[in-house]
């Protein structure tokens, strides 16, 4: 029996008795980028274990296959695990050598196989790995369908990268005119492509049914829709939000159709409705 298990920071699973997961993912939570994998796991019958905490709290964790909160005495500058932090975190993070061997870019979400020896990084690659391990044909029924799915995933990379930078800048209340223009261009390019595709194939971007191309789309757009929380601030700065009502009607209708599916709503419904921060 498969499942998606979220392991809280105060109660790690007993490794002697816990079901062995196909994948374990360490990340900040909540995180639609992680939910790409959990949705695919739910649909494809793949067991996944999620370990993590709120974004700022990850600075107080040891980043590892067996990730855990640090004891107070372990959070020190001379720790062998202390590493310079990157965008979105404080000055120092704590990562084991084994974590960095498995994840050479040192980022989250960080997925591992059940042994903890193989690391898979970047949310779309984790999504692909889960889909391959499942039984639901989410990665296409033929090599050509799989390649078309890859085309959609690759086309979303610029949008997802710009969105991450933009959302962090919004959170810091530090959005330049140049950044806003780049975000507007990336959003428009991506959404226009999705809009054109689903205008002719409303059941799914590839193959006439749900695929990981749809899962990546609904999760990436769900995360970007956090922009609405900053509409008031943008207006005060004399700027218009990137998301405008009425634009890309086919793409947004597809987004709503996907959100209505139980396997997707289980992760995204509360987040999109604003009850999860």
Exposure string for 86-109, b = 16+ CB within 10 A, e = fewer:
eebeeeebbbbebbbebbeebebb
25 membership: H or E segment, kind and range = strand 23-28
pLDDT in tens, the chain (277 residues): 344 555 544 444 443 333 446 999 999 999 999 999 999 999 999 999 999 999 889 999 999 999 999 999 999 989 999 998 876 677 799 999 999 999 999 999 999 999 999 999 999 999 999 999 999 999 999 999 999 999 999 999 999 999 999 999 999 999 999 999 999 999 999 999 999 999 988 899 998 899 999 999 999 999 999 999 999 999 999 999 999 989 999 999 999 999 999 999 999 999 998 855 4
Nearest to 191 by CA among 170, 171, 220: 220
CATH ID of 4-133, from 3.40.50.2000, 3.40.30.10, 3.40.640.10, 2.60.40.10: 3.40.30.10
Cα Rg for the chain, rounded, in angstroms?
A: 19
Helix (H, G, I), strand (E, B) or coil at 45: coil
From residue 163, how far is each of 81, 122, 151, 255 by CA, in Å?
Answer: 30, 15, 19, 17
| Fold (topology level) of 143-272 | Glutathione S-transferase Yfyf (Class Pi); Chain A, domain 2 (1.20.1050)
């Amino acid at each position: 029996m498969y499942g998606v298990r979220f392991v809280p920071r105060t109660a790690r699973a007993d490794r002697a008795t816990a079901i062995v997961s196909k994948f374990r993912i360490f990340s900040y939570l909540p995180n639609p980028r992680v939910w790409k994998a959990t949705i695919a796991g739910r649909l494809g019958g793949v067991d996944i274990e999620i370990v993590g905490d709120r974004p700022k709290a990850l600075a107080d964790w040891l980043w590892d296959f067996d990730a855990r909160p640090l004891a107070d005495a372990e959070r020190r500058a001379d720790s062998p695990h202390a590493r310079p932090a990157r965008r979105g975190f404080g000055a120092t993070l704590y990562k084991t050598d084994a974590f960095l061997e498995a994840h050479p870019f040192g980022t989250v979400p960080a997925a591992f196989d059940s042994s903890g020896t193989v690391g898979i990084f970047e949310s779309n690659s984790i999504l692909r790995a889960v889909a391959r391990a499942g039984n639901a044909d989410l990665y296409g029924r033929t090599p050509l369908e799989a390649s078309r799915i890859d085309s959609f995933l690759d086309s979303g990379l610029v949008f997802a990268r710009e969105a991450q930078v933009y959302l962090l800048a919004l959170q810091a209340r530090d959005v330049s005119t140049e950044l806003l223009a780049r975000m507007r261009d990336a959003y428009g390019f991506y959404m226009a492509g999705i809009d054109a595709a689903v205008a002719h194939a409303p059941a799914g971007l590839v193959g006439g049914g749900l695929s990981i191309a749809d899962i990546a789309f609904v999760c990436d757009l769900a995360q970007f829709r956090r922009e609405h929380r900053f509409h008031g601030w943008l207006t005060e700065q004399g700027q218009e939000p990137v998301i405008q009502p009425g634009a890309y009607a086919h793409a947004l209708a597809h987004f709503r159709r996907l959100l209505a599916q139980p396997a997707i709503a289980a992760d995204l419904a509360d987040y999109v409705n604003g009850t999860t921060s």
